[in-house]
Chain A
Amino acid sequence: MTPIAMDTGALVRGLYCILPEMVVIGTAILVLLADLLLPEEGKKRLCHLSVAGVAAAILSALWLGPGKIEGFSGMIVHDGMGLFFTLTILAAALLTLMMATGYSEWEGTQKGEFYALILLSTSGMLFMAEGTDLMTVFLGLETLSIPIYCLVGFHRGRMRSLEGAMKYFLLGAFSSGFFLYGIALMYAAAGTTRIPVIASMMRDARLYGNPVFLAGIGLLLVGFAFKVSLVPFHMWTPDAYEGAPTLVTAFMGAAVKAAAFAALLRVVLLTFPAILPAMSGVLWVLAALTMTVGNFSALLQNNMKRMLAYSSIAHAGYILVGLTAGGVAGGQAVLFYVLVYAFMNLGAFGVIMLVAQREDDGYDIDNFAGIGFRYPVLGGLLSLFLVSLAGIPPTAGFVGKFYLFGAAVRSGYVGLAVLGVLNSAVSVYYYLRPVVSMYMAPAPEGIPVPRPPRSAFSFALCASAAAVLLLGVMPASALEFAERSVLSLLM
């Protein structure tokens, strides 16, 4: 038996490449150890430790820069697009953990496991966003999903939480099966799981029209569709979003979606151009269905969490419009929108966390009646985030949608763009309903006073609001960064 020759240089390069991931995982382990040592009243330090760890990961990602580093014989790559999604996901995690300072105190999630699960899930997202091998993408997907299943069911005493976790877990495990089966079929046809190699094989038509490969890519698409909740694979979303602790719901909407779209974008942009005639129809129908069903279901909701769950389905549809358009313009629009959506979504859920205090009926829209004038800052912030979600200028949501639909028109999908604009018009109704209730309806007797936010919580809310406004007024540099990221992938 010949010993394996160790290539130390390559190994070190690989470790560089996964530096942000390692920082996040290291922080998770530190949090668990500190949980053992800290006394009961010092547990809030765990949250500070997690925030510091994620901030360090952001710094390490910035330090690596947008230059391309390939690691572990092509299993993972840190390139411009990887950097963009790494920063998006880490920013979402950072804001979530900052909000956790207050939330954990009110809801009793002041535990090492809670933070460790959030951090480990974040590391899975990073692996997924930077994976250039279908195996890395799959392992990242599982590493992000399993902690999320547990976090959704973290309030074991509440039926809704358990119900949501169970539904999410069963359907999620099922979708992982589809995902893996798809990878297996693609491997059977191509003989490799490296995405760039598969892409080059498709360009010289060796895989074109191979039914085993097409079946594989179809199953892979179904697996992704479950994770980003595209219609008709969205059934779990409202229940999981409603049942989960609100902080986890915010994290799911912002970060999980970003990671899944990162991997999907890598697969689609690299491999689909060759089989576009076969796939664009599928994506078209998925996008149209997802936008329409998401928006029309959201119209009927009275519970803020459920409404935002359906709205997140609709937003997945908008992002899919950009994916269908493809190319540099489509990719750029998707990247920008994922970033913007993370901020709007986290911000909206942050305000809701402060206002709603009773589980179940605490999230009814009626509970928001009259808070607009009584608590002007909270009312103003929630209005800003909802207006941005609806896509009204001068917020970032408008710019994001403008670029998504613009990319669709430029690629010749005028019908899809029109459908998207019509859907946005419908969505304005349900986004403005809470705003109308906040400012026009008289406050009912006996609604609880919103919780006073901690300083980190206020900072997270203000940062989200600032990002939504800044990206709406001055989107140029972020859009340019997104464009360069997509170009770095396609070169």
Chain B
Amino acid sequence: MEALFFILFGAIAVGGAVMVVTRRHPMVSALYLILTLFAVAALFVLRHAHFLAAIQVIIYAGAVVVLFIFVIMLINVPESRLPVERATIVRVAGVIAAGLLILESAVLARRFAMPKAPVSGVGTVEAVGRALFTDYLLAFEVTSVLLLAAVIGAIALSNKKL
């Protein structure tokens, strides 16, 4: 049953990713990207990483791609002026290199002690929250300083009067 879902969502993710790079209109690509990200989130759920799945949907599908879509709409290139992409030698070589890299990662992952069965109870929201507020409390607090610094920097750079 789990294998069935894995194949289903894996196929959606890969198919969506292929569509992202092959579609001509950037808006269509962006929408397929959302599909891919959702499918990857489903794969995370299958591995019992519920927190990661939620974050995947909220941050990537929710925030990052929306930002992409805003940019595409702001630039708004008319359909007739979109460039026509051709399969050059470099691109074919790139696809082959990417395939080799995937193969290599798969071999490495099989050889070096990656847990086969999903570990339950580690990736849930509760477990992540517990780790965040005990062992990783300092990281959580330093992140708040980091965000403060980023906000101040943004204000300093966008201030009208200088």
Q: What is the interface of chain A, defined by CB distance below 8 A to chain B?
A: 1, 4, 14, 18, 25, 32, 71-73, 75-76, 108, 111, 113-114, 116-117, 120-121, 123-124, 127, 133, 135-136, 139-140, 142-143, 146-147, 149-150, 153-157, 188-189, 210-212
Contacts and interface: CB of A to CB of B under 8 A. Distances in A.
Interface size range of chain B in the complex: 20 to 34
A123 B137 CA distance: 17
- Which residue of B146, B148, B150, B154 has the most chain A CB atoms within 10 A of its CB atom? B146
B149 A147 contact: yes
Contact of B139 (A25, A139, A189): A139
Contacts of A117: 149, 152-153, 156
B117 to A, nearest CB: 16
Given A4-B130, A120-B148, A124-B146, A72 B138 contact: yes
A98 to B, nearest CB: 21
B156 A73 contact: no
B155 interface: yes
Identify whether the interface residues of A are mostly helix, strand, loop, or mixed.
Answer: helix
Contacts of B162: 108, 155-157
Given A124-B146, A135-B139, A114 B108 contact: no
Given A139-B146, A153-B157, A211 B108 contact: yes
Contacts of A124: 145-146, 149
26 contacts: A1-B126, A4-B130, A14-B138, A25-B145, A75-B138, A113-B156, A117-B153, A120-B145, A120-B148, A120-B152, A135-B136, A136-B139, A136-B142, A139-B139, A139-B146, A142-B146, A143-B146, A143-B149, A149-B153, A150-B156, A150-B157, A154-B156, A155-B162, A188-B114, A189-B112, A210-B112
A127 B142 contact: yes
B143 interface: yes
Interface of B: 108, 112, 114, 126, 130, 133-139, 142-143, 145-146, 148-150, 152-157, 159, 162
Contacts of B139: 75, 133, 135-136, 139
Nearest to B142: A139
Identify whether the interface residues of B are mostly helix, strand, loop, or mixed.
Answer: helix
A139 B143 contact: yes
Contacts of A150: 152-154, 156-157
B149 A4 contact: no
Contact of B135 (A73, A120, A153, A155): A73
Which A-B residue pairs are the 6 nearest by beta carbons? A150-B153, A113-B156, A72-B138, A120-B149, A75-B138, A139-B142
Nearest to A114: B156
Contacts of A123: 145
A172 to B, nearest CB: 13
B149 A212 contact: no
A14 B136 CA distance: 12
B87 to A, nearest CB: 28
A93 to B, nearest CB: 15
Contacts of A75: 135-139
B130 to A, nearest CB: 6
A117 B152 CA distance: 7
A191 to B, nearest CB: 9
- Which residue of B146, B149, B153 has the most chain A CB atoms within 10 A of its CB atom? B149
B81 to A, nearest CB: 27
A485 B68 CA distance: 49
A76 B136 CA distance: 11
Contacts of B135: 72-73, 75
A143 B156 contact: no
A116 B145 CA distance: 11
B157 A73 contact: no
A140 B112 CA distance: 31
Nearest to A148: B153
A39 B34 CA distance: 50
A212 B111 CA distance: 10
Contact of B153 (A108, A111, A147): A147
Contacts of B142: 127, 136, 139-140, 143
B152 A113 contact: yes
Contacts of A155: 162
A76 B138 contact: yes
Contacts of A143: 142, 145-146, 149
Contacts of A4: 130, 133-134
Given A123-B145, A143-B149, A111 B136 contact: no
A18 B138 CA distance: 10
Nearest to B134: A4
A139 B133 CA distance: 16
Contacts of A1: 126
A333 B159 CA distance: 44
B112 A212 contact: yes
A164 to B, nearest CB: 13
Contacts of B152: 32, 113, 116-117, 120, 147, 150
